[in-house]
């Protein structure tokens, strides 16, 4: 009989092997999650919103505004979802008059996953009265609600400022964290 067939493992040794195997598998999953988590704050800070298209057409009774925003996560972070997008705007006419308004937070159905390096387009359509078809500058404030692994603790919201007379890329203004489900909820603050 060879040495291999004579070799027997005891119950304790079998348990030890199982113990090490489970830890090795869990360790692999944990390492992957930790590497992804390391890019989370970078993804929050470097989220990019840009104005892809703006079209104003004369309708009745007002003007139809069709605006497309592109949202991109330029980092390697996964598991971030764009839940809602809202815009508020100010329109400066060449005559000096201003029109203000907002679309409110609108749920995207379904929510859009912000995968690394994938550009997501969000189209907003609204009507405006008293908008002259030419010589206007839109100042948009885009607010996006993000769904992250911290959803059970905090809601994250990022705001961006877009000016149609300037570059397409909208600089980030703020990221706000609002605590949920803790000590009765509420609270919050800028990041």
Partner 1 sequence: MQATRLQWLIATENRKLLWVAILWTAGLTSIYSQALFTRAYASWLEQGIAAALCFAAGALIGNIGRSLVVYLGAIVSTIVIIIFMATQPLSPQYLDSAGIAIIQRLLLIAVFREVFPFPLILSLASSLIGSLVGERYV
Interface with partner 1 (CB under 8 A): 10-12, 15-16, 18-20, 22-23, 26-27, 29-30, 33-34, 36-42, 44-46, 79, 149-154, 175, 177, 179, 182, 189-191
Nearest distance in Å: CB 115, partner 1: 16
- Comparing CB distances to partner 1, the nearer of 42 and 120 is 42
Other residues' Cβ atoms within 10 Å of the Cβ of residue 144: 25
Nearest distance in Å: CB 180, partner 1: 10
**DSSP E strands, the chain:** 48-58, 63-72, 81-93, 98-102, 106-113, 119-128, 136-147, 154-163, 169-170, 172-179, 189-190
- Comparing CB distances to partner 1, the nearer of 69 and 77 is 77
* The two three-digit tokens of residue 177, written as one number: 């964290």
- Rounded to whole angstroms, the Cα distance separating 65 from 56 reads 5
The one-character DSSP state at 134 is: S
- Comparing CB distances to partner 1, the nearer of 124 and 179 is 179
Nearest distance in Å: CB 176, partner 1: 9
- Rounded to whole angstroms, the Cα distance separating 159 from 174 reads 5
Nearest distance in Å: CB 1, partner 1: 18
- Comparing CB distances to partner 1, the nearer of 32 and 130 is 32
């Amino acid at each position: 009989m060879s040495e291999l067939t004579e070799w027997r493992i005891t119950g304790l040794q079998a348990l030890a092997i199982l113990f090490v195997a489970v830890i090795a598998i869990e360790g692999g999953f944990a390492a992957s999650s930790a590497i992804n988590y390391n890019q989370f704050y970078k993804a929050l800070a470097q989220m990019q919103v840009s104005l892809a298209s703006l079209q104003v057409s004369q309708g009745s009774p007002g003007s139809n505004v069709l605006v497309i925003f592109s949202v991109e996560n330029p980092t390697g972070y996964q598991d971030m979802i764009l839940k809602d997008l809202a815009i508020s705007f100010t329109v400066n006419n060449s005559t000096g008059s201003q029109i203000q308004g907002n679309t409110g937070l609108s749920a995207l159905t379904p929510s859009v996953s912000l995968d690394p390096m994938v550009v997501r387009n969000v189209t907003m359509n609204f009507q405006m009265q008293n908008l002259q078809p030419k010589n206007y500058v839109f100042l948009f404030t885009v607010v996006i609600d993000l769904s992250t692994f911290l959803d059970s603790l905090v809601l994250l919201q990022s705001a961006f400022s877009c000016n149609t007379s300037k570059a397409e890329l909208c600089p980030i203004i703020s990221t706000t964290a609002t605590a949920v489900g803790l000590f009765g909820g509420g609270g919050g603050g800028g990041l």
